[in-house]
Structure 1
Amino acid sequence: MAEILDFKCPNCGGAVRFDSSSQRMKCPYCDASFDVDELKSYEEEKQSGGQDRMEWDTSSGPKWEDDETENMAVYSCNSCGGEIIGDKSMGAASCPYCGSPVVIAGQFSGDLRPDYIIPFKLDKDQAVASLKKHLTGKKLLPKIFKSQNHIEEVKGVYVPFWLFQCEADARMTYRATRLRHWSDSKYRYTETSVYRVIREGSINFERVPVDGSSKMPDDLMESVEPFDWKESAEFSPGYLAGYLADRYDVTAEKSRERANARVKTSTSDAFRETVSGYSSVTPEGGSVRLSEGKVRYALYPVWVLNTTWKGQKYLFAMNGQTGKFVGNLPVDRGAYWRWFTGLTAVIGAAAYGLVWLLH
């Protein structure tokens, strides 16, 4: 009996035919086409059932160093069992396999448990819209930055903050001046009187925030302040679901220096407002003594956006409660110099006009 050859489509298993118009083997079921020699090789390989030879050299490749794995941790998703790799300060994340929100409960237990949390009020879409608004009206921003910068990451993060509370007894000194002007038929006179002004008193501070995460730039976190404390709540892990969260990796003890600087600056500014009636007032120094100092631990909501333009990364942040948006932008140098030249010309013209009037 003659042997019957039957060529099957590698895609769907249907019998393929030679198509004269294309000079190729064509499947009438899935419309796939193949070169004749290609299909022949496929059939011969299928019939022969050739033996596989698949060997790998698994001994090559660098090994992890101890200092590289020291801060790494592996967690397991309860929904799909997938492994989530992060650092030891990670407190909440999303599973990269199934997208389920994951809260690392152990990160917020015992002495690591936050006292308070301010929940997110604004969502991801509002953060992206705020970035677009932030780029609007910036005359020195390169025009193509809007269209060519790419948002690489938008993440809602609960940032750990230490809240310092104290009473400050302070003594501040200021250098103040008063000016008196007069003139006669020949000269104009200016008399400058210099004073040393002293202010003493007490001032209470509540919840002075200091960023407790080394991952977040302190100046960026201070720029998105203030947060409305009236909307705070006692901490519950349920608030973390769907967001990222870190526990602190900068201790309260290490945060004291920054808290002290903020308290001293705020005290000097508050006392400065009581010095009036002078032509100029300059802070000279002073001393602050703290009492009844207490520290609390809280999580504040922040949207963090990363964009890239011309190989450089730009970091933006938005207060997840109030919507305050901050971040640095590139400057169009050509536009800057055109603006600077125009401003110089305006000032020069104004100065010339003033001199002409005086004469």
Structure 2
Amino acid sequence: MSEPDRSLSSEHRFPCETCGADLRFDPGDDQLVCDHCGSIEPIDHGPWTRSVAVQEHDFRHAVEAGLGTAEMEETRVSTCPNCAAHVEFDPAVHAAECPFCATPVVTDTGVSRQIKPAAVLPFMLEETEARVEMTRWLGSLWFAPNGLMEYARKGRKLNGVYTPCWTFDADTKSSYRGQHGTVYHESRTVTRNGKRQTIRVAKVRWRPVRGRVARFFDDVLIIASTALPDRFRKGLVHWDLTRLEPYQPEYLAGFRSEAYTIELREAFGEAREIMDRQILRDVRFDIGGDRQRVEHVDTEISDVTFKHILVPVWIAAYRYRGRSFRFVVNGQTGQVAGERPWSAWKIAIAIVIGLVLAAMAGFVFANSR
């Protein structure tokens, strides 16, 4: 008899031994807590060490073998019809809002076969702490509509979502060809306003150079979700990955998790761009001098490994005049990013006030002469 398929949601539910209610992971503490009776259950880490348990996978073998060398899992997720996020929902819930864009979603979950996460970065901020950070950020915005300010005051609950990421390690050795520039100055006589003056003009003396640089890249992180705009993804790269824990479903108890929508090969392409930019900086530093010209760089990359990890994000979605606006709080650091509408009437009032003040200043200046 085959073993019954367990959904991702069922794996993340842990009943309280005292009252039977669902336990949830307690951000900032390595434990599960029951909101109903207050019981606490420490998370059992087993006999392994963090460095041994968080395994890297060989990128080349994974791609050539069709990911056959990586541990896979089947999860049940729903796809948002608006932002295409692949999010886990409780199978008992038949309709909900997408945590990324507030679009109504019918939770007819489908099965997705993906690489199993190797590690998770646990939430450090409670929802109330994240909401304080978001409210502070919203309060600092100028010309935001009153509806947005009201949203902050109401304290609508944020959604805790574990966002998928890829990290890549790689050893690189690069040979380059370029030019080393040394700035020097020449004196030149010019005529300005009918007067002859001597000025110093900067010149650059170039000489050809060749060399090699080497760098080992550790944990180049790529957000593996397309549910958020690119500017959000680029802002969600500052994580303390030394706090990664080997993947255990207990860390996801009480939270949602998103399935990755950026595949491994595509993510490595983004990681390679980050590596190439750093290598270019290394080359310029190695050339030295006052100015540098880089004509050619040839990089050999080897020992590429990867892992799939989950990072914590608090998300709020706000709908204003038919559009979705999202706010994201880093669940580890509290850093906030967001998008917001502008209030046309507030901007108009500010312009009118500015014109009135300018007119008053002009009137005072004219009368003082």
Class of the TM-score when normalised by the shorter of the 2 chains? 0.5 to 0.7
Give the deviation of 1:199 after TM superposition.
Answer: 5.2
Give the corresponding residue for 1:309.
320
Q: SS of the counterpart of 1:186? A: strand
Question: Which of 236, 241, 255 is matched with 1:229 structurally?
Answer: 241
Give the corresponding residue for 2:144.
142
Q: Aligned in 2, Cα 1:283/1:248: closer, same or farther, shift over 3 Å?
A: same
Q: SS of the counterpart of 1:127? A: helix
Question: Which of 188, 196, 208 is matched with 2:199 structurally?
Answer: 188
Give the deviation of 1:209 after TM superposition.
Answer: 1.2
Question: Which of 240, 250, 263 is matched with 1:238 structurally?
Answer: 250
AA matched with 2:300: R
Contact kept, 8 Å, 1:148 with 1:309, in 2: the verdict is no
| CA–CA distance in structure 2, aligned partners of residues 168 and 74 of structure 1 | 38
Question: Which of 281, 286, 290 is matched with 1:269 structurally?
Answer: 281
Q: Runs of 4 or more off by more than 6 Å in structure 1?
A: 73-80, 150-153
Give the deviation of 1:211 after TM superposition.
Answer: 2.0
Question: Which of 150, 169, 172 is matched with 1:168 structurally?
Answer: 172
Q: Aligned in 2, Cα 1:330/1:281: closer, same or farther, shift over 3 Å?
A: farther
| CA–CA distance in structure 2, aligned partners of residues 162 and 295 of structure 1 | 7
Give the corresponding residue for 2:122.
119
AA matched with 1:86: S
Q: SS of the counterpart of 2:254? A: coil
AA matched with 1:193: V
Asked which structure has the greater CA Rg, the reply is 1
Give the corresponding residue for 2:50.
none
Q: Aligned in 2, Cα 1:127/1:178: closer, same or farther, shift over 3 Å?
A: same
Contact kept, 8 Å, 1:176 with 1:197, in 2: the verdict is no
Q: SS of the counterpart of 1:114? A: coil
Give the corresponding residue for 2:135.
132
Give the corresponding residue for 1:249.
261
In the TM superposition, what are the counterparts of 1:209-228 in structure 2 within 5 Å? 209-228=221-240
* 1:22-58 deviation per Cα after TM superposition (whole angstroms, max 9, x unaligned): xxxxxxxxxxxxxxxxxxxxxxxxxxxxxxxxxxxxx
| CA–CA distance in structure 2, aligned partners of residues 181 and 137 of structure 1 | 51
Give the deviation of 1:327 after TM superposition.
Answer: 2.1
Contact kept, 8 Å, 1:161 with 1:298, in 2: the verdict is yes
Question: Which of 329, 332, 336 is matched with 1:325 structurally?
Answer: 336
Contact kept, 8 Å, 1:153 with 1:306, in 2: the verdict is no
Q: TM-score, normalised by structure 1?
A: 0.58
Contact kept, 8 Å, 1:161 with 1:210, in 2: the verdict is yes
Q: Aligned in 2, Cα 1:182/1:203: closer, same or farther, shift over 3 Å?
A: same
Q: SS of the counterpart of 1:86? A: strand
Q: Aligned in 2, Cα 1:282/1:295: closer, same or farther, shift over 3 Å?
A: same
| CA–CA distance in structure 1, aligned partners of residues 204 and 174 of structure 2 | 26
RMSD: 4.2
Question: Which of 141, 154, 159 is matched with 2:163 structurally?
Answer: 159
Give the corresponding residue for 1:178.
183
Q: SS of the counterpart of 1:135? A: helix
Q: Which runs of 5+ in 2 are unaligned?
A: 1-6, 21-75, 80-84, 97-108, 190-195, 359-369
| CA–CA distance in structure 2, aligned partners of residues 175 and 138 of structure 1 | 46
Q: SS of the counterpart of 2:257? A: strand
Contact kept, 8 Å, 1:142 with 1:331, in 2: the verdict is yes
Q: SS of the counterpart of 2:197? A: coil
* 1:275-316 deviation per Cα after TM superposition (whole angstroms, max 9, x unaligned): 5552x5566653322111111111111112212334332222
Give the corresponding residue for 2:216.
204
| CA–CA distance in structure 2, aligned partners of residues 292 and 85 of structure 1 | 33
| CA–CA distance in structure 1, aligned partners of residues 321 and 269 of structure 2 | 37
Q: Percent identity?
A: 19
Contact kept, 8 Å, 1:170 with 1:288, in 2: the verdict is yes
Q: TM-score, normalised by structure 2?
A: 0.56
AA matched with 2:117: P
Q: Which runs of 5+ in 1 are unaligned?
A: 1-72, 346-359
AA matched with 1:262: I
**Comparing 246-255 and 292-301, the one that deviates more:** 246-255
Q: Aligned in 2, Cα 1:322/1:286: closer, same or farther, shift over 3 Å?
A: same
Aligned length: 256
Give the deviation of 1:249 after TM superposition.
Answer: 3.3
